[in-house]
Every structure is written in C-alpha cells, then in structure tokens.
Structure 1
Amino acid sequence: MEVVVPAMLPVLNPLANIVVSKLQAALDKEYEMIDGLAGDIRSMKTELRMIASETEDKLSQNIIASAVQIASLQEMRDWAHEMQDCLDFFLPCGECHRKLRSFTSPLQFAEEIKRLKKSLEEAHKRRKDYHVNDGHQAAAGSQENTGGTGTVVGIEKSKQELLELLKSDINGQANQLKVIPIVGFGGSGKTTLAKAVYDCLCNQGEHCLCAEPAAFPCHAWVEARKHKDDTKGLLSAVLDGLRPAGSQATEAQSDLGQHEAIKKYMNIHRCLIVFDDIDQQQWDCIKYAFPEKAESRIIVTTTSQQVAKACSSHGNGYVYNMRALDAKESMDLLETVLRGNSPGLNSTLIVDKCDGHPLALVSVANFLAGETLAKKEDCEIFCRNLGRHMEEKLVFTKLRQVLMRDFISLPGDLPRTFLQYMSVFPNGHPIRRNSLIRRWSAEGYVHSQYPRSDQEIADENFQELINRNVIRPIDASNKRKVKRCRTHGIMYEFMLRMSMSNKFITSLCDPERSSFCHLFLQNSAVGSTSSMIQHTSSVNEKLRARSLTICGNAGDAVAWFKKCELLRVLDLEECKDVEDSHIKDIHRLWHLKYLSLGGTIKMLPGRIDRLHCLETIDLKKTSVETMPIEIIRLPHLVHLLGKIKINNPRFRLRKLRSYLSKQSNLQTLAGIVVDENSAFPQLMAHMKMLMKVKIWCDSTAQGIKTWKHLLMAVNKFIMDGIDTVSEFRSLSLYLGNSLANFLDSLQDLVLKDPSQLNLPGHLTSLKLHGELSQLPQFVTSLSGLTELCLSSRNLSANELSNLHKLRQLNYLKLVQDDIRGFIIKKGHFPELIDLCLVVGNPNLPTIEEGASPKLVSLQLLCQALDGLSGINIGWLKRLEEVALDCKVNPDTIETWENEAKKHPKRPKVLFLERIDPNDEDSMVKYVASERPAARTGSSASQQQTHAAAPTPTSSTGETTTGLNRSLPGPSTASIEISSVA
C-alpha cells in the first residue's frame, strides 16, 4: 500500500511550534549568558520553522513517500520530541519563570542543547546523502471521485423528505428559487441521496417509480470537484446539462455571458441543478447566475456547515443534515453487500463498529466477503484491528481516501492535531467541549497572538471541526454552541491508527509507550491490564507522556502517572477504581496543569497545593466536600470546578485577601457551598479575574456576618462587569427558600447607589434557582444580560412580563409550575434566539405576531402539553427547531410535526427526555431522545416513524440516542433544571 506523507506526520507542525516558543523563552532568560548557547538556540529555531514549513507544504498535497523519506521524517519527529523533553525538563515555569527543579543548572542545559544540535546536523547530512527531498510523487487516485457508496439502502425516508422539500410550491404558487444543501460527514451518502432524488425528479433512474411527467424538464448534474479554481468550466458544465440534447452553445464564453445564459434558462424553464461537493469559493463565484425569482431548485452536497449555510441563504433555502443509518438500516446494507457470503457472521459487532456510516459498512462488507468470521471471538478480533485493516487492505482504499481528504481539508495544523487528540477518549465517549479546550490549552497546543486569546483560538478550531462535520455534536448550549461532542466511529478508528503511527497517542499497555506523547487506558479487565503492563515494564522506566487519560477500571495501573514526570494533563474523571491512596504523590507532577478526578475520590491529598503550574482542577464527579484554602492561592489556577466548601484558613484572612488582589488568576468558580463558617464571601470580592461564579447557600449561611459578606461580594461581582462589556460574566445562585430574601437585600444594596442601574455592562448570564414571588428591579435593570434562567414556582404572569425590558436577551429559560397569562407581545425580546419553557401546566404563554423575530429554537418541555396550546409558529419566521418532552401524547406529536411541515423553514421537531436527580440538591437534565413510538392505529404516525435503534447509555450515565447519531445531527439543548421544577 502506498504511504502518503500527510498520513505519517500531521502533528509535527504543532510540535515544532511548541518547541520554538520554548526556545524563545530560553533566549530571554539566564541561559543567554552562556557562551555560544544563544547562537545554537537561534539556529535550531530556524531549523524547526523550516521543518514546519516543509511538512505544511507536503500536507497540502497527496505525496507518496519513499521508505527513506518516511525514515527521515520520523527522525525529524523524534528529534523534535527530544528537544521538547529537554526544554520542559530544564526551563522554569513559562508564566512566572519560577524554577521547577532545583538540581538542574544552566551548564547542564547548554550541554544538552549542544548534543541535540549535533544530532540535528547529522540528520540533515543523512537527508542530503540519501537525496530525501528528491522525487516526490503525487498520490495515485488523489483526484478520484470519492463520493457515493454505490449501494442504495436506508435512504428512502431521507429521499421522501427531500422530494417533499423540492416539490413544494413548484406549480406557480411561489416563484422563488430554493437551494437545498445536503451536508454531512464524508462517506455518509450525500451523493447517493442526491443522485436518487435527481433521478426520480428527472425520470432518469432505473429505480424511479414516478409515473408523472418529470417535475424538472431542464436539469444538470455537476461534479464541482472537477472544476476546482475554474469558474468558467463550472458554469459550462451547468449549461451543458440544461441545453436540450444535440443543441449547440450560442452564449458568450465570458463569465457574464454564461451567467445571463443560465438566468435565461431558469427564467423560462423549471430547472433542477445539482452541484456535488461544492466549496465556498466556487459558490461565491457562481451564485449570482441563479435568479432568486424562479421556480427552479438547486441541490448542493458539502461536508461544511458553513458552506451549507452560505448556499441556503441564496433564495429560499433549507439545510438538510444527513443522518447516520440506524441499526436496522445498517444491518440491511451489510447483508445486501454480503449476499450471504459470510454465514454465521456476528453482524451486531460490525454494525456497532461502523456507527451507521454507509461507506464504512460497504467497505467492511466487501472485506468480509472473502473472510470467515463464524465465531464471536473472530468478530471481536476483527473489530479490534479495524484501524489496521483500514490502513493496509486494498478494499478500504476508497474509505481511506474519503477520510484522508476530510482530514487534509481542515484549515491548518491545529484542527488536525485537535482531531487526533480526541482519540485518547473511548470510541463513542461524550466529550465536554470546555474540558477538551482546557486540555488543549494545558498541552500547549494553543498559542494566541494579540488581540485574540487562547480561548478564542481554541473555540474557533473546535467550531471548525463541527462545521466540517468530522465530529458530532451531541447537544448544544444556550448560546447555540456545542456543549458536548464525540468523534464519528469510523473516523475515530482512522485517527487512532494514524496517531499511533505518529508516536502521538497509544495505550498504556503498549510496550513502546515510553516514546508516545499521550497515553490512555480504556475499559480493561483489571487483572489482565496490570499483568500486561508489569510484564513490559522496568523499575526505572520513564515515560515521555504529556497526558494520561483513564476510563473504566485500572487497578494499580492508575498510579503509573508517577512515571510521567513531564505530565501536563491527568484525567481520572471516568476511572472507576481510583482511590485516595493512589493520588497521594500527585504533588510530584511539577508540570501538571489539568487535573480531573472521579467519583471514588473522597479527599484531596494534603500537598496538592504544591502543584505550582495547575490551571484547572475538576472535582465535579468526586465525593470531595471540603478543600484546603491553600489551593486557591495557586498562582496559575484559572478553573476550579465542583461543589465544595473551602476550609477556614490557617493564616490571616487579611494576608490572603492581599495576595488574591495582586496574584489571583481564578476565572471560574463553579461552584462553592457557603455556610456560616465559610471564608469564601470575604475572599471572592478580591478575585478580580472572576468571570463565572456558581454559589450554593447552606441554610446556616444566613448569619449576619456571612450574609453581609456574600451580598457585598455578589454586588461587587455584578458591578465589576461595567468595565468589561465584551467579556462573558456569569452568576448562578442556588439559594432555595433564601433566594427571595437574598435578592431583596441585594436590591437594597444596589439602590443605595441608583447610578448603578441601567448601565450597559454588568452580567451577561444570570441563573436564579429558588423560591421567588417577585423580581427585584435590579434584575430587569441588567441591560447587558444575554442569558437568563429563572427556576421558581410562584412568579406571576405580571412579574414575568417585566422581563421584556431585557432587550439584549439571546436565551431565556423559565422553570415554572404555571405561566398562564404570560404574554410575549410584538416588539418584546428582539434579540431572543432560544426560548426554553419547563412547565407543569400545559397552558403556554401567548406569543404575538412580531414578537421575538429572531427566535430559532423553541423548547416546550411539558409532559401534559396538548396540541399547539395556542402557539402559532408561522409567526416565528426564523424558527429551525421545536423540542418537546418525549412523554407528550402521540396526537400532540403529530400535530406539531404537521404544523412544522407548513412552516417555510420546516423546523425539526425534536424530543428531549428528563433525567431525574439523585438528590434534592442536584440538577436534572434533559437529553436528546428518540421520537416516541406511534400509537397503534395511527397510520400517519406509523408512516413517519422508522425502526428505532436501541438506546445506548454513555459512560457518564446520560442517555445518548439515535437522534444524536445524525451526521451532523439536530442541535438540541442540554437543559439543566433545578429540582424545584
């Protein structure tokens, strides 16, 4: 099998960038005084930049590499790893320049640099001697059409949905162009679906059963990939398809002449044009050739959500997201391709592994046609080795091409590195976006350049992976941002195999683990794991790893982090058997920046405050109730997550307050439990970098002193936002029966300075959970508020109506027993995008025509909902989704689905399932669910319901369903609801 260079070393660029930045730090410090060292460092910086540029050039092409070229690139990679190890071992903290190891000296560092420089020079000499840079060859088949699976199974429902969209209003009732992008992951069947629809509407397909005349007498199928950077060729292909057979071209050959010719055809005839695999630049060049006042239809296929949105905005568009095949459809496709050639095959294992990806299923079936896997053990072995088969076997060539093309098309080395990095988690594991971004930052992969921050760059690259459909969103937050995601099953196998080839990621059980950057241990049998690791280990073994991620049982292997002295990330959140004794030596990880612990941890080790570099400590899943106050004195701590109390200080509060005022970097405290002995309220006011605070208030906290300090701290946090209008600032208060009392006291405090009211800054997000009967004036005066969650039983309709004063709200969530009488009038909530109503009584608010003109998502979570309850979604022109409780009655479901079909945007009707809390203080969540089964006798419902796949359960205990198997899938909000609801 040919080896393509991009498949070999796609992580060398970010590694080179990390090393270059550290070399710059070495130049800026005491090491510059050593004779000759500065010159050596500058020379190696230049070399690394050249290596990065060379690999980026090769990554933009599919190049078949010779054996000597591969060996040379691997040598460059290994050298860069050695350089990174050297810099991490010797250099001080990159933020505050504190020396982490007292036993190292500048002279030792200089000697190691000279050794590494010499080895680099020898590597360059070998490259020259063996003519490494000569004879590059483009990969065979790199320009082949990789679209379509060739086997039409499991698309009938999608085909009917698209036909309805395309045929609607084509009989002169609406003279408006409609552009429908079909968007999804590579190999998901976009081209197959588009071809099936095209053939049916144009009466060309052998399987088309349409008896009526062709709906679109003029039609054109254009493979946009063949006309890259060739606008004239692309337009000519359109005209060649639209012209009657045998006619000659008469239009001018200029772009303008071609535009006018296409417009003429579309103004006279009803045309259907399909652009298969179009990109943004191509669409921008040709879109003005299509008149928006025409009865024609355009279908485009793309892997990019951004391209899909751009195309759909021309005329009356609709973005159609590809769905993965469910279990039954996957089985049907597998059996159709195999045709009985593999009797006794355990198809369930294969179907799960392919994760509903049509091209993967076809490729696997073609491979299995020549194999015999009669036993379950044989299937298990095959599934474990699927990544290796994909890399080596000829039958997987097309699948490799599709996956590699999606990978290479990512813009820059950061998203490519991030995608590979996700292989440290188990296949199908739900990954929290914020945790992932914090890990990327801790690893050093994100390097900001003014004026953009690390967070902005990480957010941008994460969103790029979502837009390109290479990772799946599981749910969305209230800001329309994905909150959790997971990799596609088949892309996971591909990325993991690539990462292992690149010495990037491997299992802790791998005998060669010492040379890998990131280690994982997943769902292993305790005894076999421990014996396997012990068998391949030595007493003095040292590991290079920068991260260790353990999911499931680990046994004594959990303590192996002690061998990773350069570790930056330790993630034990999903480790089921980690004990307090296992982490007693964690303070020795001097470089550790990210620490996440699991539910079996009850107490933090006493010396954890020695983790000088720690940036994130995640205790959300632990049983830890109290935390030593010394932890908040860590100079680089940014995110403290959990539900914990802070111990009383062993030293004076005045000294600690002074320290926090000058050096605290804490931005997230989510959250803190305040009781009568808590020192936190007195300290919070001195944490000037705070951006997100979540507070639970113990019933004993209403002592005069504690209450006073908490009021002053919260008031200061709110008012500090006046000077940071552009920043996100979030406050969550879980105060139960004390909420009304606290807000009244806060109102009195605010009114002492009336000038503070109606200022543009303040908070951007406010969540209030507890008993309320009225809203204080200061809540509706927070004019900069963009998110508001009110979880309370007794707010009247008049009180709720005052919320319209918050004109910047993008998201509003109301958790109430009864909201009858609440009216959202014309002009109210002009910026509202998401409205979530969690109510017990089915009487919904009245939404007048002209209210909330930008509303995209409407979530009506009421099990007793009966019909439309007076809501006219036709007035909500931008509506894209309606979410209902999965336990509503079938008639109500059918009513909403029929109403959605009448809407110009045809919003998706989604279903959410409530997960009850384990205790009164916990939050409950709504997660995506299947459409409930149709009621017996309801033929319409039965026609709309397809066979549902079994509902799997994630390792976190949250339900993930077939709805989330879509490519990329409907975006649903994960709703945290106070148990008061």
Structure 2
Amino acid sequence: MEDPGLLSTFVDNLVSRLFSLAEAKYKLYKGFEGDVTFMMRELPMITSAINGLLLGQDDHILRLSVEELRHIAHEMEDCIDQIMYDASWDQQPWYCKYVKSGRKRKSRSQLGEEMQQLRYRLEEALQRQQRYSISLPSQSQLAESDQHVLRDDLIGIDASLEELLEQLKEAEDQPKQLKVISIVGFCGLGKTILARELYNSEIGKQFEERAWVSGTHGDPGELLSEILRQLHKPDLVTSNVNQLSADLCNYLNNKRYLIIIDGMRSDQWSIVKSAFPRNISSRIVVTTKIQSVANTCSSNNGYIHNMRRLNEKHSKQLFLKNACPGEYSDYLQPDSAAILKKCDGQPLALTTVGHFMRKKRWPTGRDCEDVCNNVHFYDLQSGDDTLDRMHQLLTHDYASLPSHALKACFLYFAMFPSDHPVRAKRLKRKWLAEGFLQPTNLCSDPAAESFEKLMNQNIIQPVNISNNTKVKTCKTYGMMHEFITLKSLCENFITLFDGGELQPKQVRRISLHHKSITNGASLNIDLSLVRSLIVFGEAGNDILNFNKYQLLRVLDLEDCTDLQNDHLREVCNLLLLKYLSLGSNVTSLPKEIKQLKHLETLDLRRTNVKIIPPEVIQLPHLIHLFGKFKLPDKAMQDELQKFLASGKCKLQTLGGFLVDESGRFVELMGYMKKLRKVKIWCEPSATSTNLTTLQKAIQEFIHDEKDASNDPRSLSIYFDGCSEDLLKNLKSPCYLRSLKLQGRLLELPEFVTALRRLRELCLQSTKMTADLLTALTNLKHLQYLKLIADELEEIHIKEKALPRLLCLCFVLQRPTFPKVQEGALPFLKSLQLLCKDMDGLSGIQVKCFTRLSEVMLDCRVTDGTKLNWVRAAKEHPNRPIVVLKRAIPPRVDRGGDSTAAGETENEIIDCSVLSEGQVQETHTQMPHDEPDYAFNNMGHEVVSATLTGSSIANNGRVAS
C-alpha cells in the first residue's frame, strides 16, 4: 500500500528544491521559470487532497493517485538534481571536465524537455483527480493498549509486578498523598496486563473506590464520565469537562481510590488532573507508550516504570509455550534463534508468532525452518489473522508518529542491520544530508528535535548512553525493524542487498549488509539515481565503481572492508555529495576532494589519514570535520588564511587536529569564526612557539561574547607529555558549555573557574589534588562532572557545593571517593562510582542525595558490594536504580568520541538476579544464569537485583 505520508514528506522537500532552482535563475528554455512556479504551486495542493489516507485502507483510486504522484515526484527530483549536477559540473576547471568526459550526462535540451514533460504529466494528474473526486475515509482510532497480550501468555513479569505492588501500597515512611504510577514502553510489552494485575491484586482490592478506563479515545470529558459511571454515579446531566472534574473531585474527596487509565494520551492529563484529590494515599496508574506523558503524569510524587523486554531464557519459554503443543514438548525442536532475535523480547511478538508457528505444525512441520528464517515476509504478506493483531499494533505505532517527516526519518533505520547499533549524531547528519529535514527560524536543529521525538515515542530504544545521559547509539525493536524494512522496500524507499536476489530497476538508496555483490555477475541496475549508499562489510567492484553514480548525497563507507585509496578519485566526482565517511583502508585523500562543493560532513575517524590536503579546509559548505590529523608543512597557508578571512568557511566542528613541531592548524584556528566544537591533541614534540600560538587561538575561541546564552561551544584538549603551562595564562572573560582536559593536572587552571555557565566538565589526570578538587566545588552552574584518575586526595564536599550538579561520575583505580556533607549536591540524580576495587559503600552516605534516581557501579565489584548498594537503594526514599557497567576498550577511531584510558561507555552487561541468600552461601562469582533486566527512564539496561522480599531494579521514581 502506498503511504501518502511519505509522499507528503517527499513533496515538501521537492518544493524547497524547486524554490532553490527558481532562486538560482536557471533558464533551460523559454518559460522554464513559469513551469517551476506552476509545480511549486500545484504539488502541495494535490498531496493535501490525498494526505488523509489511513494506512492500511485499500482505496483503489486513491492508491493509484498516490502511486502516480510519487512517480512524478521522483522523476522531478531526478531532473532537478541533474540540473544541479550540470551546474556544478560547469563550474569545474577545464582539466577536471576533461578527466570526467566519460561520465554520462544529459544535455541541457534533454533536461529542459524532461521538465516540460513533467509539467504536462502533473497537469494530467490534477485533472484526473478532479474528475474522480476522491472521498477521504475518516481515521479510525486504533487501540493503543496491549490488550491482546493475555495473562497466561506472560512469563518473567514477577519482578515488575512486585516492584509496582510496592508502589501501590501505603508506605509508613511516605507522605499520605496521591501518587501517579506511570507504566511506559513500546507496544506489545504487556503494559495493560501489568496494570490489570495491579487492579486485580489483593492490594488493589483494598481501595475504597476503583475504576478502570481507557484513554485511547482522547476525549477528557468521556474519560471523566466513564470514571464517574464506574463509581456508581450514573445520573450525569452534563458533558462539560469543568463540571465533570468538580463532580468527580467532590465524590472522591476523603476517599482512598485507585484509578487505572489505560493508554493515556498526551493532551489529557493537564485537563483531568484537577479531578483527583491529592490526599489519603490514593493511586492513579496510567499506561502509555509516550515518555513525556509518563514524565508529566508522574512529575509530582510520582513513579515511572519503564517496561522491560524479556530476556533470552524467558523469550524462548514464552515462544515454545505458544508454538509447541504439549504432546511434542520432548520432540526435537527446530532452531528458533532467528525468531527470538526478531521478536526481541516483545511478548506480543513472541505469542503471535508462536501461535502462527503452531498452525505450521511446530515442531514437526516441513517448512518450520523456512518460516523461522523468513518470518518478516509473513508479517505483511501472508494475510494471516494470527499475525494481523501484531501488524495492527506496529502500523498504529508507525501511523501515530506526529509528522510525515518523522516517518521518513524513522524508515531510514531500515538502512541498518536489525542488530546494528546506530550512532545518533551520525544518523542526524544523514537525515539532514538526505533533505528529510530543513532548519527553520523556529527550529535551528530539526534533526535533534526529530530524534528526541522518536525516543519520546519509545519506538526506538537506546543501546548506549554516555555518562552525561545523552543517547550515543540506538536501534529499533526487532519486529518493528522487520515492519519498517518491508514498508521501505514496498515504497521503493530503500533497496536492501542482504544476500537476496532482489534487483529493482530504479534504486534511490542502497544498503549492503555483509554480502558482496560480485559472484562474477554484473549488477543489472541503474546506479546513477542513487542518493544514499551504506556498506557493511565487503561491497564488491560493481558497487564501488563510482563512475556509475551521479546524484549521491550520502556515502557511508566507514564499515566497508574493500574500499581503497584508488576509489577516492572517483568519489571526488560526486559533485552533490553532502555526507562522506571512510574506512580503515584509507590512508590519504586526493586533492581532487576540493570538487565536493556541497560536502557538509567529512568523517575520517575510522581511517588512517594523518595528513589532510589543504583543499579540505576550503570546502565552502563543510560544517563537520572529524579525525585526528594535521596539515602538510607546505599547506598554502596564505591562500587558506585568505579563504578563512573572507568569512566563507562554515566549519563548526573540528574534531580534531594535532599540534607537534608543525603548527599549521594552530595558525588557522583563529580565522575559523564559526567553530563550536574543537578537539586538540598536543604532542610532546610541540614547540614552544606553536604552544604559544595555540594558547592565543584557544583564548580567542573561549572569549565570552556575553549574549551567547544558547552557544554550544565545547573544547577538548589532550596534553599528555606537554607542559601544563599551556592552560595557565588563559584569562577571563571566557565561556564554554563543555570542557574536557586530559593531562598532568596538579591544580585546576584558573580559567576553568572563570568560565561562564560551564555545564559539562571532564578531567583526566594520574592524580588529583585536594586543592584541585576543592576548586571544582565552586562551579555553580555545573550540571555534569566526570573525574578520571588513579586516585583522589581526601576532600570533603561541603554544604551548598555544586548546587546545580545533576550527574557526578568517578572513574578511579583506587576507591578514594570524597566525603559528602549533607546539603551538598542538592539536585544530584545520577551517582556513578566506577572502581572495580570499591568495597561496600566506601563511606558514602546515600541518603544525603535527596533526589538520587540512579547509582552506577563497575560490574567487576564484588557481590557483597553490589548487595550493599541494593540495600542502601532500598532504604533511600527515592529507591534509585542500581546499574552495573562494563569498561569498554578504546576504539580504533582516530579522533572520534572513543574512550580514553580508564574511561568507560554505558554498555550494561548481562548480570544474574542476586538474592542475599545466594551470596551468603556461595561467596563466589555471580552465577551465569540469564538475568532479568530492564530499561530505566534514562535508557540504561539495569540489573534486577532481587533481595529477600523486594525488587528494586528499574525504579524510575520522580522526586517532587
């Protein structure tokens, strides 16, 4: 089924490109400007007429209209890009044109004829639509709850249920007031059935008044009316929301009540919350898939439970329970690893696929192995009623994304393998290079906003969280990835080569997953119209023949194993390229890279490029430059300075450059006026002259302009082996949002305490003195502090110190943690104590941190230490989660965000469920059973460490 939403996104981008074409005053033929203006006017009108199509509705005429317009729009984009390519080609020097004379290009007359023909086809489509006046179906409300998941279907929910029952109770040490418990997560994880278990529990039945209502209809008045009706107040004579709120509030006053709202919508809580008195330990439980809804509902004395996926052991149990008849439980079972991977711990997926496999006579059916390996084809194409309920939920989650542009961004995840962690920042840059999103006066960073919206919808999951709680990598859920992959293929949004034989005639985006397209056969597709190419593994000669491409915008080859230096000269002929990342076999860049006038991102972090040609700096649209490099000694310094001084340089990210006996970059940095993120490595061979010049450049970079309230400037300096005098003479006034220093730090440089509104600070040194640590406590605006050292000198953090700090992270070789006085760090939410030799609580008084929601430990600490922290967390009023974290070896990326020595990334390891009795009896390593784990509201995968009588993992309580 054609998706009109995708078409709308495509047309929106197309109109902006038409506008650029008109603005540039191209004249291919007489009347060209008029044709462009006509297309700009008519395209949005046609798409708006079909924009209301509900996904899954098979209206034949409407489907044909969408398909016809999509073909016209694609061909129009091709023609526009070919015109832009032609214009870029005309601007090349004559010798470049001579070298590229073998590349096929359409003449201007051919392009003009195509544009005229496209106008005529657009007029015909408009006339056809008017003749057949298409009536739009009204959008039906799809169920948002997980009501299809049956109680008997669920395995492994006991820890979650126990945790929520604790919240339902009236605790003696807690204020006797209303608590809103939010259960949030991706569809099909069992939110509704978990709420139902709470409602039907013995604790739930003790409430004086109870009601269960659905919030999916979206009408606050209906929701309040239904609650009143269930509370035996049928004599309603009004539909006025304010009156209903007053009636309900009066009825519930001085009564202890339990209200379940299943499927809370984003716009409901602010309207209905006044209807619920806040006294006598009442409880409201809401289920929702939207994180911001959960945060809003539980913002005051609330509790957030982020739903957990089932682990591998429980997933297999649930799948076999539904797939295998009891009489065949001892029969040899087919390998179900592929199914379990695609279901990704989602109970609804496991149960529905299990029921489907039972129809296939699991485990004795002849085609069971085939279905296991190809379950994605059945999802959309089988028409099977058993799979239909899962398909409906996936469709609803996709269809409910708040914008068409967001849907296109989400479908782009299909370009990556299902189990491949996607780097968030690189993904955002690709969205922008593709043209899915455009900056506006209201939103200067639409990619970041769109990513946050997808995270908020719980439709993608974080895989790796940086220490300052920013999502570094993410992925889609297993079955949702299958859904968007098939949808993308059906819409010709992507072409996927993963070992299959699919070779469509027209290809716009190619993703190659560890399967070389060679095998002696020629690739029988037209690559000239491809916009994106991503390769994982070996590509083969056909794919890497860049003479066949013309309109590429995104070229991601950092994981390509057979890319060589020789390929890059052809890459430099891709004149419309905006995003380029290269892999480890690349050791140098050709000077022809200057031809990439539209390039915005050049990522060399996976390469072995140590010297970049000066032509890179002169690229007029380059915004982000990543790697670890320097300029050649003979670097056309005067010419570069002249270019930079002209104000044409758009470079914002320089991450980063080397300073040694050569100081070419240092001399240029002061001319780069738009820099916002800089990373510098100072080598021991750096001369005093170069260090002095560098100091001046840094001083200019950190100069405080006073009006930079939203200025994201960040600086990273690695100066191991260099004199610390580099930082001593930096003066105020100065400003940075983020600062990272790695080197020999005997005292805190004075400029650090002078930095206005410094939010993030990371320091790494062999030893940190008491004077340095004391100076840190005076940073009043700091929100995130990370200290990496072998040891810290003893220090007391006094009352009122670091008043805005939210996250404090220590990475130590020896457990020399500071003493914290009560009243210090009043807003601390995350305490990260990463030291494998930590013993117990190491003198830390957890109750001093009144707003604490997370404690993170090195996974190598002893079981006794883990249990001590579990007990301490249980006794804390907020009951923070306890997270174990594994140290990650430094990556091979040159100049990337890789971890330095001793630094860690948030890859949370599998860890067994602990009980106090187990540890006391064994005094050995933790057993190797599969863990129960969850995601807290910050996205971490956390240990479900069960003590006698309680489970405290995945606690997301929000302090008031």
Same fold (TM over 0.5): yes
Alpha-carbon separation, structure 2, partners of 1:561 and 1:74: 30
Matched, 1:803 2:805: no
1:903 Cα offset (Å): 2.6
1:649 Cα offset (Å): 3.3
Bigger mean CA offset, 105-114 vs 819-828: 105-114
Task: Report what 1:917 is aligned to.
Answer: 890
Matched, 1:785 2:758: yes
- Map 1:875-886 → 2, pairs under 5 A: 875-886=848-859
Task: Report what 2:11 is aligned to.
Answer: 16
TM-superposition CA deviations, 1:162-210 (whole Å, max 9, x none): 11121151x696311111100000111111111122211467xxxxxxx
- Map 1:545-556 → 2, pairs under 5 A: 545-556=530-541
The CA RMSD measured in Å over matched residues stands at 3.1
1:299 Cα offset (Å): 0.6
The structure 2 residue matched to 1:158, chosen from 154, 160, 171, is 160
- What is the count of residue pairs matched by the alignment? 914
- Map 1:209-224 → 2, pairs under 5 A: 214-224=205-215
Contact 2:767/2:790 (<8 A) preserved: yes
Alpha-carbon separation, structure 1, partners of 2:921 and 2:910: 11
1:551 Cα offset (Å): 0.7
Alpha-carbon separation, structure 1, partners of 2:914 and 2:312: 22
- 2:768 alignment partner, SS class: coil
Q: Residue 965 and residue 585 in structure 1: after superposition, are their counterparts in 2 closer, same or farther (change >3 A)?
A: farther
TM-superposition CA deviations, 1:812-842 (whole Å, max 9, x none): 1111222242222222112211111112222
- Map 1:128-139 → 2, pairs under 5 A: 128=130, 131=132, 133-134=134-135, 136-137=136-137
Alpha-carbon separation, structure 1, partners of 2:531 and 2:892: 37
Contact 2:318/2:350 (<8 A) preserved: yes
- 2:533 alignment partner, SS class: strand
1:357 Cα offset (Å): 0.9
Matched, 1:295 2:284: no
Task: Report what 1:310 is aligned to.
Answer: 296
The structure 1 residue matched to 2:309, chosen from 314, 319, 324, is 324
Task: Report what 1:488 is aligned to.
Answer: 477
Task: Report what 2:100 is aligned to.
Answer: none
Task: Report what 1:207 is aligned to.
Answer: none
Q: Which amino acid aligns with 1:874?
A: K
- Map 1:163-312 → 2, pairs under 5 A: 163-169=165-171, 174-201=175-202, 214-226=205-217, 228-229=218-219, 231-243=220-232, 249=235, 254-312=240-298
Task: Report what 1:709 is aligned to.
Answer: 693
1:57 Cα offset (Å): 2.6
- 1:927 alignment partner, SS class: coil
Q: Which amino acid aligns with 2:881?
A: K
Q: Residue 601 and residue 487 in structure 1: after superposition, are their counterparts in 2 closer, same or farther (change >3 A)?
A: same
TM-superposition CA deviations, 1:79-105 (whole Å, max 9, x none): 101000111110369999968998777
Contact 1:725/1:762 (<8 A) preserved: no
- Map 1:758-769 → 2, pairs under 5 A: 759=733, 762-769=735-742
Q: Residue 695 and residue 383 in structure 1: after superposition, are their counterparts in 2 closer, same or farther (change >3 A)?
A: farther
1:553 Cα offset (Å): 2.4
- Map 1:6-155 → 2, pairs under 5 A: 8-31=3-26, 34-58=29-53, 61=54, 64-91=57-84, 108-128=110-130, 131=132, 133-134=134-135, 136-137=136-137, 142=142, 147-150=147-150, 151-155=153-157
Matched, 1:835 2:808: yes
Alpha-carbon separation, structure 2, partners of 1:881 and 1:424: 34
Q: Residue 76 and residue 935 in structure 1: after superposition, are their counterparts in 2 closer, same or farther (change >3 A)?
A: closer
Task: Report what 2:630 is aligned to.
Answer: 645
Contact 1:515/1:544 (<8 A) preserved: yes
1:871 Cα offset (Å): 2.3
Contact 1:424/1:520 (<8 A) preserved: yes
- 2:258 alignment partner, SS class: strand
Segments of 5+ residues of structure 2 without an aligned counterpart are 98-104, 943-960
TM-superposition CA deviations, 1:575-631 (whole Å, max 9, x none): 223222333411111111111112232232442232221111111111222211221
Alpha-carbon separation, structure 1, partners of 2:90 and 2:832: 50
Alpha-carbon separation, structure 2, partners of 1:332 and 1:886: 28
Contact 2:18/2:80 (<8 A) preserved: yes
Contact 2:759/2:784 (<8 A) preserved: yes
- 2:886 alignment partner, SS class: strand
Contact 1:304/1:468 (<8 A) preserved: yes
1:523 Cα offset (Å): 1.7
1:53 Cα offset (Å): 1.9
Task: Report what 1:979 is aligned to.
Answer: none
- 2:40 alignment partner, SS class: helix
Contact 1:62/1:139 (<8 A) preserved: no
Contact 1:62/1:138 (<8 A) preserved: no
Q: Residue 824 and residue 53 in structure 1: after superposition, are their counterparts in 2 closer, same or farther (change >3 A)?
A: farther
Task: Report what 1:629 is aligned to.
Answer: 614
- 1:319 alignment partner, SS class: strand
- Map 1:352-371 → 2, pairs under 5 A: 352-371=341-360
Matched, 1:970 2:940: yes
1:897 Cα offset (Å): 1.5
Contact 1:92/1:98 (<8 A) preserved: no
Task: Report what 1:926 is aligned to.
Answer: 905
Task: Report what 2:410 is aligned to.
Answer: 419
1:440 Cα offset (Å): 0.8
Task: Report what 2:519 is aligned to.
Answer: 531
Alpha-carbon separation, structure 1, partners of 2:620 and 2:742: 32
1:51 Cα offset (Å): 3.0
Q: Residue 544 and residue 267 in structure 1: after superposition, are their counterparts in 2 closer, same or farther (change >3 A)?
A: same
Task: Report what 1:408 is aligned to.
Answer: 399
1:869 Cα offset (Å): 2.2
Bigger mean CA offset, 900-909 vs 567-576: 900-909
Contact 2:507/2:527 (<8 A) preserved: no
Contact 2:144/2:393 (<8 A) preserved: no
- 1:699 alignment partner, SS class: coil
1:894 Cα offset (Å): 1.2
Q: Residue 473 and residue 12 in structure 1: after superposition, are their counterparts in 2 closer, same or farther (change >3 A)?
A: same
- 1:219 alignment partner, SS class: strand
The structure 1 residue matched to 2:643, chosen from 646, 654, 659, is 659
Task: Report what 2:955 is aligned to.
Answer: none
Bigger mean CA offset, 543-552 vs 500-509: 500-509
Task: Report what 1:954 is aligned to.
Answer: none
Q: Which amino acid aligns with 2:698?
A: V
Task: Report what 2:424 is aligned to.
Answer: 433
Alpha-carbon separation, structure 2, partners of 1:352 and 1:714: 49
Contact 2:719/2:743 (<8 A) preserved: yes
Alpha-carbon separation, structure 2, partners of 1:41 and 1:254: 51
Bigger mean CA offset, 489-498 vs 660-669: 660-669
- Map 1:588-607 → 2, pairs under 5 A: 588-607=573-592
Q: Residue 698 and residue 154 in structure 1: after superposition, are their counterparts in 2 closer, same or farther (change >3 A)?
A: same
TM-superposition CA deviations, 1:633-691 (whole Å, max 9, x none): 1111111111122222343x222112112221111111112210231111111111111
Task: Report what 2:951 is aligned to.
Answer: none
Identity %: 36
Q: Residue 288 and residue 611 in structure 1: after superposition, are their counterparts in 2 closer, same or farther (change >3 A)?
A: same
TM-superposition CA deviations, 1:743-773 (whole Å, max 9, x none): 23x34xx3xxxxxx2x3x5111110001111
Q: Residue 146 and residue 105 in structure 1: after superposition, are their counterparts in 2 closer, same or farther (change >3 A)?
A: same
Contact 1:514/1:542 (<8 A) preserved: no
Alpha-carbon separation, structure 2, partners of 1:920 and 1:504: 31
Alpha-carbon separation, structure 1, partners of 2:529 and 2:932: 39
Matched, 1:742 2:726: yes
Task: Report what 2:870 is aligned to.
Answer: 897
Alpha-carbon separation, structure 2, partners of 1:94 and 1:970: 49
Alpha-carbon separation, structure 2, partners of 1:941 and 1:185: 38
Alpha-carbon separation, structure 2, partners of 1:74 and 1:196: 47
Task: Report what 2:844 is aligned to.
Answer: 871
1:971 Cα offset (Å): 7.2
